[in-house]
Amino acid sequence: MLIRASAKFAKTFRCVRSDRRPPAPGPFLAWYADVFTARRFGRFAIFSDEHTLFTYLVPMGNRRTLAAVIEGFHRTMGQFFAHARIHDQAAVTEVEFVLRDDRRVIGCQNDFIYHARHCLEENHPPLDDEIFLQAHDAINGMPMAHLGFRMPREAMQEEVAKLRRG
């Protein structure tokens, strides 16, 4: 799996990013990663698929290590892969960190951060599953110009259908 990490993500987790700019290996195998803070709820890591812009939030809580955040992301991805019946789990075990390079995806992810922060901050702690799902629904339900004004959820469903067929 390829993770195109922001400078803030790399600094927060002290991960080393390669300078090479590899092409995306395919849907759900190349992710843009960043971190943000939502008042009253703490820090979150955000991962957006390069092809579909489908986005996951990973609450960091007290987890300040790269291994803990990647484990949370792997767990979420494992649930997604099992539910969607795509790829095998081995496809996500190796992780390579590289620089972010597509300004359109970076801009979309900045929009997701803004909307996720707003969705989270209009609620009060503790962070329960309902609030967390509302934030995911809000960001994955936003029409994005990068996708021809389709929603990331729709783009993800189309890619899952393609992967199941072929």
| E runs forming strands in the chain | 2-5, 30-38, 42-49, 55-59, 96-99
Domain boundaries, the chain: 2-165
Per-residue pLDDT of the chain (166 residues; tens, 9 = 90+): 899 999 999 999 999 999 888 887 888 889 999 999 998 888 999 999 999 999 999 988 776 789 889 888 888 777 777 766 665 544 556 889 999 999 999 999 999 999 999 999 998 888 888 888 889 899 999 999 999 999 999 999 898 888 878 6
Mean pLDDT for the chain overall: 87
State how far the alpha carbon of 118 is from the alpha carbons of 18, 56, 67, 127, in Å: 33, 16, 28, 14
The pLDDT of residue 89: 46
State how far the alpha carbon of 114 is from the alpha carbons of 4, 87, 147, in Å: 19, 31, 19
* Domain 2-165, CATH class in plain words: alpha beta
The pLDDT of residue 129: 82
